[in-house]
């Protein structure tokens, strides 16, 4: 029988960073085909390879027992997973007893009209919505299958249900540069914070060129500063974002620059794929198979041992890099597989 010490001692990585944040991809499927995220003609995983909802519950519960306090559900698009609300409902027991401090998700917004009230009832209080443009034609082009009106309606539904919405926008050169102030003003008018993300070198996009898409956030920030007074905030979440407040609107704007290593020293997170692979770093290929020990035993001891062994391999930082000649550190897997 596993010792109580081994089963419940919090997770600490080799660099003395407590692991308190788990991002969980519940599906690799999505109802969009965003050009920087996946190829248009994707081959998705067979159902038997995916963790069942019950296995996701058991997996997440094991991490919560080891000190994980924040759970973010991702995909693909998490809300297209069949019966996904059963999983959210199951996680409320951890919120109710105080072991889990936050349950949240990142979504493309397409299903929020359908699920916003249910999410709030399950204890979700805020969501991140990925939205790169407010132009109908450009939205259709970048998402390939998406409809902007559906997403905007979903955001309305989320705010009506009491969910706080934060917008995540990928900075894409030649695509949404001209919408910087429009997007910022739109978020401010709706009391939504906004985070800009540099495009990351992940997955084969079927002809899309990462180098052509790359818009450095230092340039975006400088442009923002031409109109607004940017006040640096000391706020740290253990994650990649660095925040400023726009003095004129009071709104918070974040910058995620995965290529600059400016957040690795405080990284408190790991990522679980929909097939049970644990990636200790988004920018490294090293991963641990947690599905095998999960399915091999009805007891959690082997799973906990596998989690601890994986965390012991968590690296100090990632290898992403852009140069004028090309991209190094490129990951072969798609973001839709790992979870954003």
Residue positions forming the annotated binding site:
23, 30, 34, 36-37, 72, 76, 106, 130, 166, 200, 264, 267, 269-271, 281
- The answer to whether residues 337 and 28 touch, using CB atoms and an 8 Å cutoff, is yes
242 cis-preceded (ω within 30 degrees of 0): no
**CA–CA distances in Å: residue 53 to residues 35, 57, 99, 273:** 29, 6, 20, 13
- The answer to whether residues 37 and 29 touch, using CB atoms and an 8 Å cutoff, is no
Tokens of 154: 């979903």
- The answer to whether residues 104 and 89 touch, using CB atoms and an 8 Å cutoff, is no
Known binding residues for [4Fe-4S] cluster are 30, 34, 37, 264, 267, 281
- The answer to whether residues 109 and 165 touch, using CB atoms and an 8 Å cutoff, is no
Q: For residues 317 and 258, what is the distance between their CA atoms, to the nearest angstrom? A: 10
Q: For residues 264 and 280, what is the distance between their CA atoms, to the nearest angstrom? A: 12
Run of H or E residues at 106: strand 102-107
Residue 246, beta-bridge partner list = 230
161 cis-preceded (ω within 30 degrees of 0): no
Total number of residues shown for the chain: 340
Known binding residues for GTP are 23, 72, 106, 166, 269-271
Neighbouring C-beta atoms of residue 280, cutoff 10 Å: 20
Q: For residues 68 and 100, what is the distance between their CA atoms, to the nearest angstrom? A: 7
Tokens of 336: 């839709």
Non-local CB neighbours of 98 within 8 Å, separated by 6+ positions? none
Known binding residues for S-adenosyl-L-methionine are 36, 76, 130, 200
Nearest to 195 by CA among 163, 170, 178: 170
What's the count of helices (H) and strands (E) in the chain, helices before strands?
12, 14
Tokens of 246: 């726009």
């Amino acid at each position: 029988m596993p010792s109580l010490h081994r089963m419940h001692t919090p997770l600490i990585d080799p660099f003395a960073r407590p692991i308190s944040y788990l991002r969980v991809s519940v599906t690799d499927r999505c109802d969009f085909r965003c050009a920087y995220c996946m190829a248009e003609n994707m081959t998705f995983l067979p159902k038997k390879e995916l963790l069942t909802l019950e296995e996701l519950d058991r997996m997440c519960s094991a991490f919560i027992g080891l000190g994980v306090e924040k759970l973010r559900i991702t995909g693909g698009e998490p809300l297209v997973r069949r019966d996904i609300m059963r999983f959210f409902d199951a996680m409320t027991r951890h919120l109710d007893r105080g072991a889990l401090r936050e349950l949240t998700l990142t979504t493309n917004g397409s299903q929020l009209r359908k699920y916003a009230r249910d999410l709030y009832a399950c204890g979700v209080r805020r969501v991140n919505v990925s939205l790169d443009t407010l132009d109908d034609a450009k939205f259709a082009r970048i998402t390939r299958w998406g409809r902007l009106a559906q997403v905007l309606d979903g955001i309305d539904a989320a705010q009506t249900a009491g969910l706080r919405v934060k917008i995540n926008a990928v900075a894409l050169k030649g695509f949404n540069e001209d919408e910087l102030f429009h997007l910022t003003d739109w978020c401010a008018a709706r009391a939504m914070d906004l985070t800009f993300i540099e495009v990351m070198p992940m997955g084969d996009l079927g002809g899309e060129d990462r180098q052509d898409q790359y818009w450095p956030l230092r340039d975006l920030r400088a442009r923002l500063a031409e109109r607004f007074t940017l006040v640096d905030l000391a706020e740290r979440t253990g994650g990649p974002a660095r925040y400023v407040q726009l003095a004129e609107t009071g709104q918070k704007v974040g910058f995620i620059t995965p290529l600059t290593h400016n957040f690795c020293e405080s990284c408190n997170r790991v990522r679980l794929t929909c097939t049970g692979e644990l990636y200790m770093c988004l920018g490294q290929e090293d991963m641990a198979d947690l599905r095998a020990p999960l399915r091999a035993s009805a007891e959690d001891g082997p799973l906990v041992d596998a989690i601890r062994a994986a965390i012991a391999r968590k690296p100090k930082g990632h290898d992403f890099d852009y140069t004028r000649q090309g991209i190094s550190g490129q990951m072969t897997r798609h973001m839709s597989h790992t979870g954003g």
